[in-house]
Chain A
């Protein structure tokens, strides 16, 4: 069983459209949307939820009004303005940092775990999908990503499926670290802009640190061929294989707007490039020894 994670460093490079395309092209897979902060893979894959589980993460402060003496210590200490004048914690503003709990002289503040969202195991026309939805003002976390990957692996083992395709979170923080550790390969989707290049460098450094073989693909490459070349030159210096280039194509936007999967509903230049990209990615994934050569 192989696990491919798709990340971008910079957001908005086209990672999810491409991941949806892979989901359509791959056989025997489990699809994971680990980009829980701004989950959007479900918009194109239309999952039918089969199992829902609450996700507990972090804590919330709850003031016991019986024990509270109204000393105001918590109001003063709270950096997030979450305690009201009448000593009630606003659940949406509370960050669960625990400072008020620690400093309350009456120990009147409880600190239970909070439900921060729900995760789902669903079926799509393309196969099973593991994803999640966060509550208002809640954040993605390394823990949630770790949970989704674990569930997806169990599902793959149960159903004898060959590959996990993971739509990764943006950036390089805890959720991304959690998405990459132990993955078989990472595909970094970049775009030909200076921030695209900058964030590719950061993502590439993380992948190298975690020793996850990396590949790169430049999306919308023809918008700026000069930066595309800089990106591919950087990749070559780092031993990262460039596995494809996708041209700018209005059919991508049209598919998004229609809530359709690009490769299923287009034969245009971008869809064609995504098909070629998938073949190149598969080759690297199953013949990993080639990945670190330039």
Chain B
């Protein structure tokens, strides 16, 4: 049972993956066992002048995510996630959140970072 955070353009599994991480609109936290989801608004990081990556990392870490899936994660966010022991899967954009989660479940996504 893994909790994954997927950067998302909307609050449902059928919304598109947001290609950005730090300034993504929000994150869908998905429990891969039950497929239960809840949506986290990332407005606060989006509005940050600088260090949006750190704030977004804090947001998903606080929600207990063990894996992040997104399009592109910047260097500052990446370091923060790595420090938090969260694995990162990139190039998950141009698909829906559901499709990204399915790819993850099938082991088709290259992950970096983590403990």
A residues near B, CB below 8 A? 57-58, 139, 141-144, 146, 173-174, 177-178, 181-182, 206, 209-211
Contact sample, A vs B, 23 pairs, CB 8 Å cutoff: A57-B49, A58-B49, A139-B49, A141-B50, A142-B22, A142-B50, A142-B51, A142-B52, A143-B46, A143-B50, A146-B23, A173-B50, A174-B51, A174-B76, A177-B74, A181-B19, A181-B20, A181-B72, A182-B72, A209-B74, A209-B75, A210-B72, A210-B75
A209 / chain B contacts, CB cutoff of 8 Å: 74-75, 78
- Contacts A178-B23, A181-B20, A182-B20 given; does A143 touch B75 at CB 8 Å: no
Contact B48 A143 (CB under 8 A): yes
Contact A211 B72 (CB under 8 A): yes
Instruction: Beyond A139-B49, A178-B23, A209-B74, list 13 extra A-B contacts (CB 8 Å).
Output: A142-B22, A142-B49, A143-B46, A144-B49, A177-B53, A177-B75, A178-B52, A181-B20, A181-B22, A181-B74, A182-B71, A210-B74, A211-B90
Name the interface residues of B65-115: CB closer than 8 Å to any CB of A.
71-72, 74-76, 78, 90-91
Name the interface residues of B54-73: CB closer than 8 Å to any CB of A.
71-72
- Contacts A181-B20, A182-B19 given; does A143 touch B52 at CB 8 Å: yes
B46 / chain A contacts, CB cutoff of 8 Å: 143
- Closest residue to A56 on the B side, CB-wise? B47
Contact A206 B20 (CB under 8 A): no
Contact A206 B49 (CB under 8 A): no
A146 / chain B contacts, CB cutoff of 8 Å: 23
CA gap between A211 and B88 in the complex, in Å: 15
For the complex formed, measure the closest distance between the CB of B48 and the CB atoms of chain A, giving whole angstroms: 6
A142 / chain B contacts, CB cutoff of 8 Å: 22-23, 48-52
A58 / chain B contacts, CB cutoff of 8 Å: 49
Which of B19, B76, B91 touches A177 (beta carbons < 8 Å)? B76
For the complex formed, measure the closest distance between the CB of B23 and the CB atoms of chain A, giving whole angstroms: 6
CA gap between A89 and B70 in the complex, in Å: 42
CA gap between A173 and B25 in the complex, in Å: 22
- Contacts A178-B23, A181-B20, A182-B20 given; does A143 touch B49 at CB 8 Å: yes
For the complex formed, measure the closest distance between the CB of B54 and the CB atoms of chain A, giving whole angstroms: 10
CA gap between A51 and B51 in the complex, in Å: 28
CA gap between A222 and B22 in the complex, in Å: 41
B91 / chain A contacts, CB cutoff of 8 Å: 211
CA gap between A176 and B49 in the complex, in Å: 13
For the complex formed, measure the closest distance between the CB of B53 and the CB atoms of chain A, giving whole angstroms: 8
CA gap between A210 and B71 in the complex, in Å: 10
B20 / chain A contacts, CB cutoff of 8 Å: 181-182
